[in-house]
Structures are given as structure tokens and as C-alpha cells.
């Protein structure tokens, strides 16, 4: 899978549209299924962490657990980013003024 960077809209109206879509996404059965699967993977990883003795394996498992937690919180993180963005300043910076 290719990695791509997708930026939030520069304008407040576009960002509000994304915000509304994220709120709708949270209510989707498919989204909830994906979140439940990630939560299950996190729980498996935490269980392995409790049993693992090898330091290198522990570091890998800790990285996995951190990635699962980040994935679980991604929608909330984006919503906070939208709420905390100064769109007037952002437009000014991107317009070169």
C-alpha cells in the first residue's frame, strides 16, 4: 500500500465538512468493526508484552501497542486538530501574504 499525505482543508468551511464526516464515520458500523478489531489486536499485543522476556521483542511489541493506540485515537486527534487550528492564519501563510 502506498503512503500518501492528505492535509486538512485550509479553510474553516472545508474543515467543518471534514469534521462532520468524521463524526458520521464514528457512528458507522464498519468503523466500529474496524475499531473493535484494532482494540482486539491491542489486547493481544498487551498480553504478549506481559509474557515476553526478550528485550528486542519487548521493544517491537511496545511499538505495535503504541501504533494500535494511535490508530484507535486517530479520529479524535484529527477532530482536535480541526478545533485548534487558526484558519485565518493558516490561509494567510499558504497565500504567501
Query: What pLDDT shows up at residue 6?
Result: 78
Domain boundaries, the chain: 12-86
Tens digit of pLDDT at every position of the chain (97 positions): 556 777 888 899 999 999 999 999 999 999 999 999 999 999 999 999 999 989 899 999 999 999 999 999 999 999 999 999 888 887 777 776 5
Pair 45, 65: CB distance under 8 Å: yes
Query: What pLDDT shows up at residue 8?
Result: 87
Query: What pLDDT shows up at residue 3?
Result: 66
Query: What pLDDT shows up at residue 93?
Result: 77
CA distance to 5, 39, 77, 78, per residue, from 65 (Å): 23, 10, 17, 20
Residue with cell 493558516: 90
- CA 31, distance to chain mean position in Å, is 13
Amino acid at each position: 500500500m502506498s503512503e500518501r499525505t492528505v492535509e486538512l482543508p485550509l479553510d474553516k468551511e472545508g474543515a467543518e465538512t471534514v469534521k462532520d464526516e468524521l463524526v458520521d464515520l464514528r457512528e458507522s458500523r464498519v468503523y466500529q468493526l474496524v475499531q473493535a478489531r484494532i482494540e482486539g489486536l491491542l489486547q493481544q499485543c498487551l498480553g504478549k508484552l506481559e509474557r515476553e522476556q526478550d528485550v528486542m521483542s519487548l521493544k517491537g511489541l511496545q511499538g505495535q501497542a503504541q501504533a494500535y493506540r494511535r490508530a484507535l485515537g486517530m479520529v479524535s486527534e484529527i477532530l482536535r486538530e480541526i478545533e485548534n487550528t487558526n484558519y485565518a492564519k493558516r490561509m494567510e501563510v499558504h497565500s504567501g501574504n
